[in-house]
Amino acid sequence: MAQLIEHSQLPIRGLNLHVAQVGTGELGTVVFLHGFPEIWYSWRHQMQAVAAAGYRAIAPDSRGYGLSDQPPEPEPEDVETPWEDLVADVLGILDALSIPKAFLVGKDFGAMPAYDFALRHPDRTCGVMCLGIPFSPVPYNFEGTMPEGFYPLRWRQPGRAEADFGRYDIRRVVRTIYVLFSGSEVPVAKVGQETMDLADDSTPLPEWFTEEDLDVYASLYEKSGFGYPIRMPYRCTDKMTTQLDAKFQVPVFMVIGENDYTFKLPGFEAAVRGGMMKSFAPDLKVAFVPEGSHFMQEQFPEKVNELLLGFLKDCPP
């Protein structure tokens, strides 16, 4: 029987962050960090699985997302180290809940603070597992390597995504992004198109994503809106820390779906299959999920849960 997920607001570094929790934590704590357009709910299947196995699952809404407070000015793109805020928020959550060490699980842009936290705070990290996004020692830069219509290049332009999204209600925007990002092709708009034009209401949702799931996502983004989520991460990728001498001291597990469109982005396959990550993470494990999309934790929860629980079990105490 599934345990009841509890919700609370934690005062962390001047903001009230929404945190979902479940499990007693006899075997340890797992912190889940979501991407875009995700939210704590994206980890619902994994939270129940680790709780049933004896762990405590914690999934915050990232600052500015869902039920968490909006950060004050200045805007994230004007901050020198916006990614460090996400790392500091994780540390603040662990301290507020008196948790000495935790496993970190990150997805999409949530992988960046998961990797960075493990590098900065190895004494507070049991291990790190990331879905879809390999570790990069330099900021991501798609200029010149991807078409102009590639959505991160479009969305980094102030006001462009806001105008594109603003033509539709919140539910339609979330629906369209889930449809696009669950495909195997990289979402690229043509000249005269915007990203939201790449799918419409006649395009079916992925079979594993229900109308009820969409309702949950829409209700949470009704609270936060898309203003901050668009700016962070898409207008802050150039402010990622350069870490050419990075060396992970904890186990790292990279999991990617073979139908994840990000696998086609420049450098991603080389990082995963070519061994680049191994030079930074000596204790690296890599797994591929056949047919897995960018949302494999929702698409194939049993498989991802199996990989996650195996990783938790194999990590040294």
For the record, the structure tokens of 92 come out as 């603040």
Asked, as a colleague might, if the bond just before 37 is cis with ω within 30 of 0, I would say: yes
Distances (CA, A) of 104 to 131, 191, 257: 11, 40, 19
- What confidence tier does 79 reach under pLDDT thresholds 50, 70, 90? low
For the record, the structure tokens of 219 come out as 């209700």
Cβ-count burial of 299 within 10 angstroms (0-12 exposed, 13-18 middle, 19+ buried)?
Answer: buried
Q: CATH top-level class for 6-314?
A: alpha beta
**Cα 34–chain centre separation:** 3
> What sections of the chain are H helices per DSSP?
44-52, 82-96, 111-120, 151-155, 160-165, 170-181, 211-224, 227-234, 268-273, 276-280, 296-299, 301-314
Q: What is the pLDDT of residue 9?
A: 98
Q: What is the pLDDT of residue 141?
A: 87
Positions marked active-site: 108, 234, 294
3-class DSSP state for residue 297? helix
Asked if residues 104 and 34 have their Cβ atoms less than 8 Å apart, the reply is: no
The DSSP output letter for 5 is P
User: Residue 130 belongs to what H/E stretch?
Assistant: strand 125-131
3-class DSSP state for residue 289? strand
- What confidence tier does 272 reach under pLDDT thresholds 50, 70, 90? confident
The DSSP output letter for 14 is T
Asked if residues 258 and 293 have their Cβ atoms less than 8 Å apart, the reply is: no
Closest CA to 164 of 181, 146, 177: 177
- At residue 80, does pLDDT exceed 60? no
**pTM of the prediction?**
0.96
For the record, the structure tokens of 122 come out as 């190895």
Residue with tokens 């990617």, as numbered in its chain: 256
| Gap between the Cα atoms of 264 and 189, Å rounded | 16
Q: What is the pLDDT of residue 72?
A: 83
Backbone angles phi, psi at 145, to 5 degrees: -110, -15
- What confidence tier does 207 reach under pLDDT thresholds 50, 70, 90? very high
| Gap between the Cα atoms of 280 and 309, Å rounded | 24
Mean of pLDDT over the chain: 94
Q: What is the pLDDT of residues 142-164, one digit of tens each?
A: 998 999 999 999 999 999 999 99
- At residue 38, does pLDDT exceed 60? yes
- At residue 115, does pLDDT exceed 90? yes
Query: What residues does 104 pair with on adjacent strands?
Result: 31, 128
- What confidence tier does 36 reach under pLDDT thresholds 50, 70, 90? very high
Closest CA to 20 of 166, 188, 220, 210: 220
Ranges of each domain in the chain: 6-314
- At residue 182, does pLDDT exceed 80? yes
Q: Count Cβ atoms below 10 Å from residue 145 Cβ, excluding itself.
A: 11
3-class DSSP state for residue 126? strand
